[in-house]
Amino acid sequence: MFLTARCNLKCTYCGGSIEESIMPPEITYRLDELVEFISQDSSPSIAFYGGEPLLRADLMMKIMDSVEAEHFILQTNGLLLHKVDVNYLRKFSTILVSIDGRQEVTDHYRGGVYDRVIRNVRWVRKVGYEGELIARMVATEKTDIYSDVLHLLSIPQFSHVHWQIDAVWSPDSLWRDFTAWVKKYNSGISRLASYFISRLKEGEVLGIVPFLGVLKAILFQENMKPPCGSGIDSFAITTDGRIVACPVCADMPWNQCGDIATHYRKLMKVYMVEPCLSCEYSFACGGRCLFFNRERLWGDEGFRLVCSTARHLIEEMMELTPEILKLSEQGMVELNEFYYPKFNNTTEIIP
């Protein structure tokens, strides 16, 4: 749910606060309406989203006091984490913190925030937070996926690293040569996969979210379509009380599922369309994401380029699978360690 449309940053690839033409800056519905809507779900997970949700930490804590949830989840830029009451902080199952890898990459796109974010991440662990703490990257032209992921894995406070490629909705000037970058990115994924299996042979399962999520689909033959569940069993509540399938495109007509007065079981579902439905990798990719599947802003060639990154990642994980099964038989790793995520923690899995 969107706690606010306002943000205290203006990252190069984002632009900051959500436009008022899309949703109001602050919530306009009553808290009791929210409580009534959520009570219709027997085991809800509530993710706080923005804008920057911690600009309304007061409202967040009030909601946490008012509703019963199986999981509370927070997506934040990390700058205000130190202002959250510790008792509420410990209630979160997952906290996703935006950070783009090495300091020079993060500061280039996010405006010199790296040191402050790392300081707050250390504080979160110091005060006793024991849940998932996910470093959530945006991968764009300055990203070296191998170096940036390994950098974040080296920070002990983070349990996992996830990333999304800044493709399709990015500003026109952000990419100089996306085709060349994809080639470099896919090479980096291969290097990362080699490192991942080398650590597995030492008995360590690295918390690389896209790897684990795809391996879950391969090993357990279980995946949501799309992996984030948007439009099927995961929905976003806008600040004006509309229910949308995908939070990143709250203004799109196909994305509208109802409003806060609609009964949870009667929300409109939004499904993937071709060509993703017929793809051989749909069991693991699920169409990547609803926005990418539905909106061809980069045309067919751009669609194929982005798709090639998902295909490459899945193929790398398929190559690792026999070795993982062998290591499991030898007792080096437990297969259940690849059952990730155990609940919908808002990670989209496919970058």
Residue 92's CB is within 10 A of a number of other CB atoms, namely 22
> Based on the structure, what is the number of domains in the chain?
1
Q: Model confidence over 105-136: pLDDT tens digits?
A: 999 999 999 999 999 999 999 999 999 999 99
247 has a pLDDT exceeding 80: yes
39 has a pLDDT exceeding 90: yes
User: Letter for the amino acid at 132?
Assistant: E
23 found inside a domain = no
Q: Model confidence over 72-108: pLDDT tens digits?
A: 999 999 999 999 999 999 999 999 999 999 999 999 9
pTM of the model: 0.96
21 found inside a domain = no
19 found inside a domain = no
pLDDT at 131: 97
Confidence of residue 295 (pLDDT cuts 50, 70, 90): confident
Give the residue numbers spanning the domain of 287.
31-338
Q: Tell the burial category of 54 from Cβ atoms under 10 Å away from its Cβ (0-12, 13-18, 19+).
A: buried
- Determine the 3-state secondary structure of 236 from DSSP: strand
pLDDT at 253: 94
* CATH number of residue 265's parent domain: 3.20.20.70
Percent of the chain having pLDDT more than 90?
84
**Integer Cα distance of 158 and 172 in angstroms:** 32
331 found inside a domain = yes
227 has a pLDDT exceeding 90: no
Find the radius of gyration of the CA atoms of the chain. 20
- Average confidence (pLDDT) over 281-291: 89
pLDDT at 171: 66
Q: Model confidence over 21-34: pLDDT tens digits?
A: 999 999 999 999 99
pLDDT at 172: 63
14 found inside a domain = no
List, in order, residues 6 or more apart from 82 with CB less than 8 Å away.
Answer: 119, 120, 123
Helical segments of the chain, H only: 31-38, 57-66, 86-89, 103-110, 114-126, 145-153, 178-200, 209-220, 282-285, 290-294, 299-329
**Integer Cα distance of 164 and 96 in angstroms:** 13
Q: Tell the burial category of 236 from Cβ atoms under 10 Å away from its Cβ (0-12, 13-18, 19+).
A: buried
Residue 32's CB is within 10 A of a number of other CB atoms, namely 9
**Of 271, 290, 312, 325, nearest in space to 169 by CA:** 290
- Determine the 3-state secondary structure of 317 from DSSP: helix
146 found inside a domain = yes
Instruction: Evaluate the CA torsion angle 222, 224, 227, 229 in order and state its sign.
Output: negative
216 found inside a domain = yes
Q: Model confidence over 160-217: pLDDT tens digits?
A: 999 999 987 776 678 889 999 999 999 999 999 999 999 999 999 999 999 999 999 9
265 has a pLDDT exceeding 90: no
Residue 119's CB is within 10 A of a number of other CB atoms, namely 13
Residue 161's CB is within 10 A of a number of other CB atoms, namely 24
pLDDT at 186: 98
In the numeric block, the tokens 């809507």 are attached to 37
96 found inside a domain = yes
Q: What average pLDDT does the chain have?
A: 94
> Which two structure tokens, joined as six digits, stand for 90?
């410990």
pLDDT at 225: 72
